[in-house]
């Protein structure tokens, strides 16, 4: 087996996880990058076969650690290789699974950035809604905060996903999993204004009509990169001194729900988390904020 054959085998595995397991494009591409890094390492070691022992896995991880890779990245490598080797062993491409004796490092817990209600209000009010793109930007922010959608979910929303008479929108999330998410009257009002006063003008600029809800200045579906740039522009405009990304509005949505008494299971459903342990990070944020308020407010703290 040579490096090309090893890469071909990786491609077979990626087709499997994409089709059989329904993983998203971004997840599949992350698997590709991580396992390809491992294949390149083996190539440098003059190894042209996946039949290796645990010591060689340790060598690979040690090299990545020496390159100052974060614990999150190291965990991602281990996870990707563990799943890949399970597939290799099941299909008898390797004689044994060297990942069985590899333990994962403890993940450093980084609490996601969350905005206060006042900061959210300032951000949402920052676009000039008298402008076509300003009205679009305000609507995107309102929908993101009202629903907790991922940026990928926002850009992929279509007109067919809107069920505004029921105060619901249909979301196709990670792994093509569908969910219905309630949306506030305020956000619905902005959506209607955008459709009536901005979207039709943007749509007229495109040669090919699209059902995408949010459009760019050329009249085609807006990109994730555009939403990132929008966030950065308006955050700088209002002077919020935090590392704000499109995901920050999702974090803020979940945090504010929990702070106002929402049940964790409900927040899990709204966010589209398959495992409640992913949602529990927001309870830590709420506790951290409570502790901060206590320290600031209690006279004998």
Distance of CA 91 to the CA centre of its chain: 31
The active-site residue, picked from 13, 31, 138, 150, is: 150
How far is residue 176's CA from residue 276's CA, in Å, rounded to a whole number? 19
**Does the annotation count 250 as an active-site position?**
yes
Distances (CA, A) of 40 to 46, 71, 114, 236: 10, 21, 38, 41
**Does the annotation count 106 as an active-site position?**
no
The active-site residue, picked from 32, 65, 247, 289, is: 247
CB 86 within 8 A of CB 220: no
What angle separates helix 54-66 from helix 25-44, to the nearest 10 degrees?
Answer: 100
Radius of gyration of the chain from its Cα atoms, rounded to whole angstroms? 23
**Does the annotation count 46 as an active-site position?**
no
**Does the annotation count 174 as an active-site position?**
yes
The active-site residue, picked from 85, 145, 234, 282, is: 282
CB 83 within 8 A of CB 91: no
The active-site residue, picked from 136, 138, 199, 250, is: 250
The active-site residue, picked from 174, 179, 197, 224, is: 174
- 150: which residues sit within 8 A by CB, 6+ positions away? 173, 174, 246, 247, 250, 272
Q: Which burial class, exposed, middle or buried, applies to 98 when counting CB atoms under 10 A from its CB (0-12, 13-18, 19+)?
A: buried
The active-site residue, picked from 197, 224, 273, 289, is: 273
**Does the annotation count 150 as an active-site position?**
yes
Q: Which burial class, exposed, middle or buried, applies to 147 when counting CB atoms under 10 A from its CB (0-12, 13-18, 19+)?
A: buried
Q: Which residues belong to the active site?
A: 150, 174, 247, 250, 273, 282
């Amino acid at each position: 087996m040579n490096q090309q054959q090893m890469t071909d085998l990786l491609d077979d595995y990626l087709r499997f996880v994409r089709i059989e397991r329904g993983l998203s494009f971004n997840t599949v591409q992350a698997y590709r990058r991580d396992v390809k890094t491992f294949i390149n390492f083996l190539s440098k070691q003059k190894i042209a076969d996946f039949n290796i022992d645990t010591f060689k896995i340790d060598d690979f991880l040690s090299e990545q650690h020496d390159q100052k890779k974060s614990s999150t990245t190291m965990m991602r490598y281990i996870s990707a290789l563990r799943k890949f080797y399970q597939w290799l062993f099941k299909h008898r491409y390797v004689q044994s699974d060297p990942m069985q004796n590899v333990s994962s490092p403890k993940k450093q817990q980084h609490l996601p950035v969350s905005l206060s209600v006042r900061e959210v209000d300032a951000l949402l009010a920052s676009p000039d809604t008298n402008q076509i793109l300003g009205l679009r930007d305000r609507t995107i922010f309102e929908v993101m905060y009202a629903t907790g959608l991922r940026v990928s979910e926002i850009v992929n929303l279509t007109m067919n996903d809107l069920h505004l008479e029921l105060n619901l929108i249909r979301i196709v999330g990670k792994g093509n999993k569908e969910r219905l998410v309630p949306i506030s009257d305020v956000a619905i009002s902005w959506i209607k204004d955008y459709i009536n006063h901005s979207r039709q003008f943007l749509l007229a600029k495109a040669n090919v009509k699209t059902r995408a809800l949010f459009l760019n200045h050329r009249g085609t579906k807006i990109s994730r990169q555009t939403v990132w740039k929008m966030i950065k522009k308006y955050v700088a405009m209002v002077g919020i001194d935090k590392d704000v990304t499109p995901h920050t509005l999702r974090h803020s949505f979940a945090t504010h729900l929990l702070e106002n008494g929402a049940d964790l299971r409900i927040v899990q459903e709204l966010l589209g988390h398959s495992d409640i342990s992913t949602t529990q990070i927001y309870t830590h944020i709420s506790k951290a904020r409570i502790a901060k308020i206590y320290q600031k407010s209690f006279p004998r703290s």
